[in-house]
Structure 1
Amino acid sequence: MKFLKNKINIVISLLVVIMVVLILFSSNRDSKSKLEGIVGDTLSPVQRMVYTVSKVVSDTYQGIVKYSGLVNKIELLSKENGELKARINSYEQLKVENHRLREILNFKNRLDDYKFVGANIIGKNGAYTNEYIIDVGINNGLKNGMVVIANGGLFGMVTSVSDNWSLVSPIINGNIAVSGIVQRTNGNQGIIRGYEGGSSDYNLKMEYLPIDEEVLVGDIIVTSGLGGVYPSSIPIGEVMSVESDKRNLSKSLFIKSHVDFEFVSELFVILPNSIDEVEY
């Protein structure tokens, strides 16, 4: 492109020089000879054509240069627009996820004491233990005994950790237990485990509640926070049935977990912001 521009400039310069010479030559004489008139008449159309062609070429070149610059600006603006959209989408997703976690946990003013590490289920370990393998571990701050939640509430507990993966035992297994209370009354605590005789109607059992404890079918059970292992107020499930044991003066509750363990794929591990301030 630069070579073409230089060539056009040379042609234009030569034409200008010829015209100047002819003007000067003509100005020093009172009259023109027939030969000069013939030459002038002959060169005039050629000169006009050369000028017209050179102007078209020059204008085309300038247009190409301007178009190229405009294309570059459009590409730059398009790239910046894409980056801004990606940032906005990421921000909106974080807002939605944070809102969802707040609703799940209902931690109220204690939410700032914890942070959450997202985890994906990548497999299961054993046909009987039914432990889940997740794709985060020590490198992500995980430790044994940390609580795991899913969309709906309490999922289970981290039972083994490696650098980049961990094992999670779900609450329905029966090999871990959690202290819970009736959210409505905030009364006495009972111990909740997975129920082996469970069905589609319920899969957890809460035991050792005093027989005079007020409980209704439909009440929501949440973690009590007893022992500092599980943060309090994590939803566990809904009371489906109440059974009284008059001999032992206690009540048992049959609970349906808020979590659908068959279809969960994304989990969140709860980490305290400060081990000194919040006990696990």
Structure 2
Amino acid sequence: MTDPTATQLRVPPYIQDAMNSSVDAGWTVVRNPKSVIITPHPAPKSKRLKAAFSLSNPPTADQVRKDLTNLGLYRALEHLQEQKPPAAQTEQAPATPAVVPPQTAPPESKPDVLACPECSKPFRLLQGLGAHRRMAHGVIGMSPKTIQRRESAARKNGKKKAASLPAAAAKKTVPTPRKTAEPAPATAPVIAEPAPAAPATGDVHSSLNHLIVFVREAEDKLAEKDDTIRELQNFKDKVSAEIANGNQSPIQTLANIMALGGEGFGTPAA
């Protein structure tokens, strides 16, 4: 026969905190091999009379907190905190409803009593004490893992500060002696400078005329270049025609081309 406790799953820490807080409020908590069921006492007016959390596919911490808030767990804890006076640290823990284990669950040993440092309220588990301090006193992150992470972060920050001290010392300069305050000299009256005068209308017309003349000269130069290009193209066409003429000798073709060039190209001046 197999051990019935072998199929039990691990309880996440935030669900364990919820179980401890529910026990402190007097609610019924049932730990099954694969789930945890929390039933309020007395049952609230809401239609949902209990909260069931799967251990094979556990919900998130926010979802657990939301479900227990809807059931009224935290209001019940605050109400109990207001009604009950703080117990002394030496007193035994108040009688609370025991967690109803399933038939397959092994018996659990009772831990030592833990007292809240702020109000001396006793708790049986460290998780319950942590949940109470978070809800009632606003103390966050007192678990051993959290303390270890904080100490590690503090050591890292200390190393970074120690490494930055030599650089800061190198940049530090010798402070200059402070000068005694001297009386401020009498300020002369500020004379407003006249604004620059706007250009006269005649200057604007003169500038426009110069611009128009420049544009016209540029157009004339472009026209002259166009005429030169046309003359060269015409000369090229005539030369091509003379070369393509097969009815004359090469000497005659060269003479005709020189004659087309005019004075300076090969034809003597008249």
Larger radius of gyration: 2
Q: Normalising TM by the smaller chain, what interval?
A: under 0.3
Return the structure number with greater relative CO, CA threshold 8 A, min gap 6.
1
Please report the TM-score for the alignment, with normalisation by the length of structure 1. Answer: 0.20
